[in-house]
Structure 1
Amino acid sequence: MTLSVTHTEAIAPPGRALLPLWVGAGVYALLLVAGNRLLNDPDTLWQITVGQWIIDHRAVPTVDVYSFTMRGAPWISTQWLAQVAYAAAYGLAGWSGPVVLAAAAIALGFALFARALRRHLRDSTTLLFVVAAFLLCLPHLLARPHVLAFPILVAWIAGLIRAADRKEAPPAALALLIALWANLHGGFVFGLFFIAPAALDALVNAEAAARRGLALRWAMFAALALAASCCTPYGWNALLAAQKILSLGQALPLIVEWKATDFQGFGPFEICLLLAIGFALVHGLELPAVRILMLLGLLHLALAQARAAELLALVGPLVIAAPLARQFGTAPLPAAGARASLASVVMVALGAGTLASLSILDYAPNMRGTPVAAVTELKKLNLTRVLNDYDFGGYLISTGVAPFIDGRTELYGETFFVDHNAASGLMEPDNLFRLLKDYDIEATLLRTQSAATRLLDHVDGWQKVYSDGIATIHLRKPGARRTAEPAVAIDGN
């Protein structure tokens, strides 16, 4: 396979000149059709609930108002603007609102991604990177705050890389993006950190006489970006909140999206990685030292945390686009006419398609793993202190039931989260009974197949009052007696 990045067209046809628009339109249409997939995360439920609270109170939360274990404890929502956007969209159009909003943000992110790559690479190469990036991002394409920040992530990194390619400092106006990002999602911290390698790349390639002045301009931009990131209702506490998440220690590997990448199955990540390595070996790809360090850093993040695959997918190609173009030879693509009219036609078509699809498609969260029936029964008991499964917390918040724990792991902290995980999985059975006692638990709402649920079936003082294929409720009842002895394995049987 030969990679060609040379443009042979004297003037690109208008249709091809609008490649970023076609990419955005295609991604948007695909996500709109598969919209229910965007609602496959229970965290979306509590994100919308928090957003509605902010709208109703015209204020951002500073303490926990949802759980009974941490009620009143300091807690801030660094994703407040995204939560408000999702809540407003939901209030306007039901579940169609968050689907359209998330799909539009993701599509815009990929359109900007294609636009940035196309400054250097041929359309076919750009599309190759777009497809690979989409596949790597796919597991994390959900109606959650991080996808609303996709366009900002791409535009921010592209701006830094473009400045480094030109051996210049970024324009001061770019700092406005980090201010918006800081109100949408905590991932803005990555954007701040990326200033350092981009600045180093610019300095290494600049003329020796120009380095001092260039370093000063980059330092001034970094200070401006840091100040801009504090332009939130929480000020500089937004930075501290991000640090609190990263310091969760043993709790992070227990959360699916924070786990290390698993190569036990042959998936898109491994395929893309092997193809990239093969291409680099066959074609003798050469990259500047700093760009290699950037790429290795992104790869390390993606291997250490599955959720960071999207950073490798969207940032990695931007890092290597210019070096690829220099090594294989390219020329800027000449401008083509009729872009505005074609863009208008495409946008009108997308708007019409959206309205048509909303009248045909029925969007709703996937409730297959959600304890809908169990919570209905739980509410009849009028209890206030229920030990729940971690994954059930978001749904409990959305239904007005105070959870023991939910997806706001930074609120609960490392020790609390690890203790709860060890209790529900019976890695440390004493933890379960300690939590039941220390928090004066009245009932439990745990997965039916969990080890803790099976144990409570055989413990005096706890009565099973409801069970289905998803969740089981055990009620504390002092007079209750176990209905069966625990199964004991003898000789491995």
Structure 2
Amino acid sequence: MDELALALGLLLATIAMELRYEARPEMVSYTLLALQLHLLSRRAAGRPTPAWIFVVAQLIWANMHSLFILGWLVMAVFVVGGWLETRKFDRGLALAMGAAIAVSFVNPYGLDGVRFPFTLLTRFQAGNPFAQSIGEFVSSMSPKLGEDFPNYPYWPIWSFRALMGLTAVGLFLLFRRRKYTALLLVLAFAPLGIRMIRNIPLAVIVVMPALIDVMPVGRWIEQRWKQPAMRHALPVAGILVAIVLSLRVFHDAYYLDTRHRLILPVEAAAFVNKANLPGAMLNHLNLGGYLMWATKGPVFIDGRLEVVGEAFFNDYNRILGSEIALEHAVARHDIGWIIIPYAGAPELIRRLSADFRWRLAHLDGLAAVFVRTDRADVRDRVESLID
């Protein structure tokens, strides 16, 4: 293994994946995908790796996160790629793949649980409402990414783009060296990260080992720099930088940099808790995750799109965009107050400000809270605070 390629690859991967360093369910899939690749690579290299272990891993994966179908894909690639490379069919792995698919049905939802990941594939389509509205569904290669989503950090996006540039070279090297398994893996997973920002870690986890294997950066350096100290210093420096970046995430510094009152509705949540407003909340999607944690009652919507579904998401957009839809939602859901970021919904702010049925109860640097004037219980709580 080329030490310098490993160090630089680790550094590039760490930066590229930084956008997804959060406590999110897909962390389970990242871990199990990496484990699956490691075990399959051991088996392909002739090291003892029993086939049944893939069945157990798939059973765990299918009961923990919806991306478990990637395990099927990876096993299929190793079966096909291994045959192309050696002209020998790994019957044991093929049987394990069939068993892994079968045990995926052993989940609390049965057939619906297996079918669910395939329904998520519709969100890759350009006409999908999530793809049109949610920042993490935008392409990492979009030329308007910085313009449409200015809050995305610069370095992770460009690190991934650099990685994809190297991947184009790596594909040629993989094909020339007849590493068909790695070639098929790259062709299968690189487009996922290109298509959506949220899939960048999936692409990095699969693509990076293949690139490190075929890009002998250290050997190229040795041909130009004859000093041994310099050759060893570069990989050590790269590893240290990667470790420092990882510690920044481990100690929560990455999140602390953005945990301020212009990003999270800290003051608005404090007001809501103090007022103890009756009635249901109508909140903006971008605030749902924090409000779920910071306030007492249930939120109307948050970023768990797999739970929300397209139909409810479309209803939510209609509620924000239409006075009639809003009034129907108030009656249907017993909504007593609204909390929204005024930069994210200026038209709604304008409508509510001009509507006698709503009253501005709180305003800070990020969010506004409007309450119903036709509800005496809500009105009295707000007036008691103001008085």
Fold shared per TM-score above 0.5: yes
When residues 429 and 316 of structure 1 are mapped into structure 2, their CA distance, relative to the original with a 3 A threshold, is farther
Q: Is the 8 A contact 1:448 1:470 kept in 2?
A: yes
In the alignment, structure 1 residue 410 sits paired with structure 2 residue 306: yes
> Quick check: 1:189–1:242 contact (8 Å CA) kept in 2?
yes
Separation (CA, whole Å) in 1 of partners of 2:111 and 2:210: 29
Which structure 2 residues correspond to residues 424-463 of structure 1 after superposition, within 5 A?
424=320, 426=321, 431-449=325-343, 450-451=345-346, 452-463=348-359
Is residue 359–residue 373 contact of structure 2 (8 Å, CA) maintained in 1?
Answer: yes
**Aligned pair in 2 of structure 1 residues 165, 453: CA closer, same or farther (>3 Å)?**
farther
> Which amino acid in 2 is paired with 1:129?
G
Unaligned runs of 5+ in 1: 1-120, 329-349, 481-493
Equivalent-residue separation in structure 1 for 2:181 and 2:55 (angstroms) = 23
Query: Which residue does the alignment assign to 1:113?
Result: none
Q: Give runs of aligned pairs for residues 31-46 of structure 1, distance below 5 A.
A: none
d(CA) in 2 for partners of 1:279, 1:173: 30
Distance change in 2, residues 1:122/1:242 (3 Å)? same
Task: Name the structure 2 match of 1:318.
Answer: 209
Question: What do residues 361-396 of structure 1 show as CA deviations (whole Å, max 9, x unaligned)?
Answer: 9x9792532223323333425323221111222233
Residues 413-440 of structure 1: CA distance to partner in whole angstroms, max 9, x if unpaired?
102113323543x4x6654455445434
1:171 aligned residue:
51
**Cα distance in 1, alignment partners of residues 32 and 298 from structure 2:** 34
Q: Is the alpha carbon distance of 1:285 and 1:430 closer, same or farther for their aligned partners in structure 2, counting shifts above 3 Å?
A: farther
Q: 1:383 aligns with which of 278, 290, 295?
A: 278
- TM-score norm. by structure 2 comes to 0.70
Cα contact 2:173–2:214 (8 A) shared by 1:
no
Report whether the alignment pairs 1:189 with 2:69: yes
2:364 is aligned to 468
Q: Quick check: 1:252 aligned with 2:252?
A: no
Backbone CA RMSD of aligned residues: 3.8
Structure 1 distance, partners of 2:338, 2:199, is 34
Cα distance in 2 for partners of 1:371, 1:236 equals 40
Instruction: Check whether the contact 1:186–1:242 (CA below 8 A) recurs between aligned residues.
Output: yes
One of 369, 373, 380 as aligned partner of 1:477: 373
Determine which of 362, 366, 379 is the counterpart of 2:259. 366
Q: 1:102-126 CA deviation, whole Å, 9 max, x = no partner?
A: xxxxxxxxxxxxxxxxxxx211111
Aligned 8 A contact 1:178 1:229 in 2: yes
- Write the distance in 2 (CA, Å) between the matches of 1:282 and 1:174: 29
Q: Which runs of 5+ in 2 are unaligned?
A: 147-153, 220-242, 377-387
Query: 1:223-238 counterparts in 2 under 5 A?
Result: 223-230=98-105, 232=107, 237-238=112-113
How far, CA to CA, are the matches of 2:173 and 2:36 in structure 1? 32
Which of 171, 196, 206 is 1:305 aligned to? 196
Residues 164 and 190, structure 2, Cα contact 8 Å, conserved in 1: no
Relative to structure 1, the CA distance from residue 273 to residue 408 in structure 2 (aligned partners, 3 Å threshold; closer, same or farther) is closer
Which structure is higher in RCO with an 8 Å CA cutoff and minimum separation 6? 1
- Residue identity opposite 1:242 in structure 2: P
Identify the structure with the greater helix proportion: 2
Offset at residue 412 of structure 1 (A): 2.5
For residues 290-325 of structure 1, what are the alpha-carbon distances to aligned partners after superposition, in whole Å with 9 as ceiling and x for unaligned? Answer: 643432222211111111111111111334565668
Q: Which amino acid counterpart does residue 94 of structure 2 have in structure 1?
A: A
The code of the aligned residue for 1:467 comes to L
Give percent identity, aligned residues only. 22
Out of 127-136 and 179-188, give the one that drifted further.
Answer: 179-188
Q: TM-score, normalised by structure 1?
A: 0.56
AA at the equivalent of 2:199: A
- Cα distance 1:258–1:400, how it changes in 2: closer, same or farther (>3 A)? same
Give the equivalent residue in structure 2 for 1:271. Answer: 162
What secondary structure sits across from 2:17 in the alignment?
Answer: helix
Q: Which letter maps to 1:408?
A: R
Distance 1:430 1:295 in 2: 49
Which letter maps to 1:371?
P
CA distance in 2, matches of 1:472, 1:255: 22
SS at match of 1:466: strand
3-state DSSP class of the match of 1:402?
Answer: coil
Q: 1:479 to 1:158 in 2, by over 3 A?
A: closer
Work out the CA distance in 2 between the residues paired with 1:174 and 1:291: 19
Post-superposition offset of 1:194 = 1.9
Offset from partner CA, 1:47-96 (integer Å, 9 cap, x none) = xxxxxxxxxxxxxxxxxxxxxxxxxxxxxxxxxxxxxxxxxxxxxxxxxx
Amino acid of the structure 1 residue aligned with 2:129: A
Q: In the alignment, what sits opposite 1:138? A: 18
| Equivalent in the alignment of 1:347 | none
Q: Secondary structure at the match of 2:264?
A: coil
Shift of the alpha carbon at 1:128? 1.9
Residue 239 (structure 1) aligned with residue 84 (structure 2): no
Alpha carbons of 1:222 and 1:277: their partners in 2 closer, same or farther (altered >3 Å)? Answer: closer
Cα offset, 1:227, TM superposition: 4.2
**Equivalent residue letter for 1:268:** S
For 1:459, the aligned partner's letter is D
The aligned length equals: 323
